[in-house]
Amino acid sequence: MARKPIIAGNWKMNMTRVQATELIEELKPLVKDTKNEVVICVPYTDLDVAVKLCEGTNIKVGAQNVAWAEKGAFTAEISADMLLELGTTYVILGHSERRQYFGETDASVNARLKTALAKGLKPIVCVGETLEQREKNRTKTVIRKQVMGGLAGISEEDLLNTVIAYEPVWAIGTGKTATSEQAEETIKFVRSVIAKMFTRKLANKVRIQYGGSMNPKNVKELMAMPNIDGGIIGGASLKAGDFSLVVNYDK
Ligand code: PGA
């Protein structure tokens, strides 16, 4: 079964509402003819404006995190119901910046994932090794632990609603891309871990993205790899021209 490519922008902590409006207006006509799935994961404060601007277009809007709790005394957290009421479709979970600066762990990612799935948000679960881990040949151990911990206890149906993103930490925002062979090798490994947790058949249906300095220059080569089903685009998603070239890599 062919897996539909999914190209997701991760705006991180960039773009005020005014800037978001300009970027989305510029982006809409540039990506309207693609057959690939297009997502922009925007700051919470841009969600309502982004959803409104993307209504009736092929662009879906995502958030960059969600609380595991349904509601209550969790200062600064944002719940799944809050996101859904604004029309949010996707949510990024376990991004390496959350793991690195905000204490996110496989257990907290797993708790957020279960809530997102129960509520009907579509999660994008990020995994990836640091440079030190890669240099010490620990990539597979680290990735296996993140995938198994992050996806623990979800149903087969939930798995099919989940997108995985392999983002080597050393390639994020550094201009250093993993070579397409390195990305393919690790993503193939992610798929084999999922096959062990579930079944090979299911693992072959799950979409797995690459992320880390993906841009108009390297997207074609990465997307030519059999196991790479899309990308998470940080820096290059902040310019409509660049992001649209990534989305339209197959044109
Ligand atoms: P980058 O970020 O494209 O700027 O490397 C990707 C990401 O962190 O999702």
Once rounded to an integer, what is the mean pLDDT over residues 153-170? 97
CA distance 63 to 135: 32
- Residue 239 neighbours by CB distance under 10 Å: 14
* Cα end-to-end distance, the chain, whole Å: 22
Torsion sign across C-alpha atoms 5, 50, 11, 122 = negative
Alpha helices in 9-85, H assignment, sequence order: 17-31, 47-54, 80-85
What value does the mean pLDDT take over residues 75-100? 98
Is 244 a residue whose pLDDT tops 90?
yes
What is the reported pLDDT for 186?
Answer: 98
Instruction: Name residue 74's beta-bridge partners.
Output: none
Ligand 1 lined by 235 (C-beta under 6 Å): yes
pLDDT band at 245 (very low <50, low <70, confident <90, very high): very high
- On the question of pLDDT at 1 being above 70, the answer is no
Residue 177 has what DSSP assignment?
A: P
Q: By alpha-carbon position, which residue is closest to atom 3 of ligand 1?
A: 234
> In this predicted structure, what is the pLDDT of residue 105?
98
- Per residue in 33-67, pLDDT tens? 999 999 999 999 999 999 999 999 999 999 999 99
Structural domains of the chain ordered from first start: 6-247 (3.20.20.70)
Residue 93 Cα distances to 64, 96, 164, 189, 236, angstroms: 7, 9, 9, 20, 20
Catalytic residue numbers, as ranges? 95, 167
